[in-house]
Amino acid sequence: MRIALLGGTGRTGRLILDLSLERGHSVQLLARSPEKVSKRSPALTVVQGEITDNAAMSQVLTGADVVMSGLGPVKGGSKTVMTDAATQLLDLMPRAGVRRLITLTGAGVPHPGNQPKPIDHIFRTLLKVMQADVLRDFTAYADLIRASNLDWTIVRGSMLLDGPVTPIKSGPVGHTGPRVTRASVASSMLDAAAAGKFIRQAPAVSN
């Protein structure tokens, strides 16, 4: 596959990048700071720019089979980074002829079919109190993606931890656990892209 990767210098995005190259895919990576990309490979093209840069985004999307996103908020950054990303993707992906999008959000993002347990309600309440702007932005992002005509998959990760790839459990919130390793999330996103799984679905994932 030829993958257009957003957020590939973040803690989960770096693992998506590494696994993509290990599995023999080619990657077109958008990076605001290319010097943060330590990986070097003939299969990797790094394009300098931000998500709001139409020219850079168009270059990254050109010829891609799938867009994969590990984007997320950064300290001191825009409080609407995810909503801005959705606006750009919904505008530019159709122009580039790319339909498939696999993107990461948090399990706190609501989705029809959720069956939250008491612990899930507690986590969501904490998010509302401690990271209200982040939850609001991720939720607006997911709403825009779900309303689109893209072949989207929204992977909703529970608490992200460092660690190896281990088996994934997926399903509605309430049927998954509270933790998942970033490597497992990266692997599951690539698996979904390769197998065409979870199209127009938003599975929560945990180990």
Q: Which of 58-72, 126-140, 154-168 shows the lowest mean pLDDT across its residues? A: 126-140
Q: Which domain holds residue 174?
A: 2-206
Per-residue pLDDT, 205: 95
* Number of domain units in the chain: 1
In the chain, % of residues over pLDDT 70: 90
Q: Is 91 helix (H, G, I), strand (E, B) or coil?
A: helix
Q: Is 35 helix (H, G, I), strand (E, B) or coil?
A: helix
Contact 135, 108 (CB under 8 A): yes
- More confident position, 134 or 76: 134
CATH number at 149 reads 3.40.50.720
pLDDT, tens digit (0-9, with 9 covering 90-100), for 9-43: 999 999 999 999 999 999 999 999 999 998 889 99
- Spatial distance between the Cα atoms of 207 and 202, rounded to a whole number of angstroms: 16
Closest to 103 measured CA to CA, from 5, 177, 195 = 5
Q: Is 43 helix (H, G, I), strand (E, B) or coil?
A: coil
Per-residue pLDDT, 104: 97
Q: State how beta strands 204-206 and 169-171 pair.
A: antiparallel
**DSSP type of residue 201:** B
Which tokens sit at 106? 């948090």
Could you tell me the pLDDT band of residue 175, with boundaries at 50, 70 and 90? confident
Dihedral sign of CA atoms 128, 132, 134, 139 in order: positive
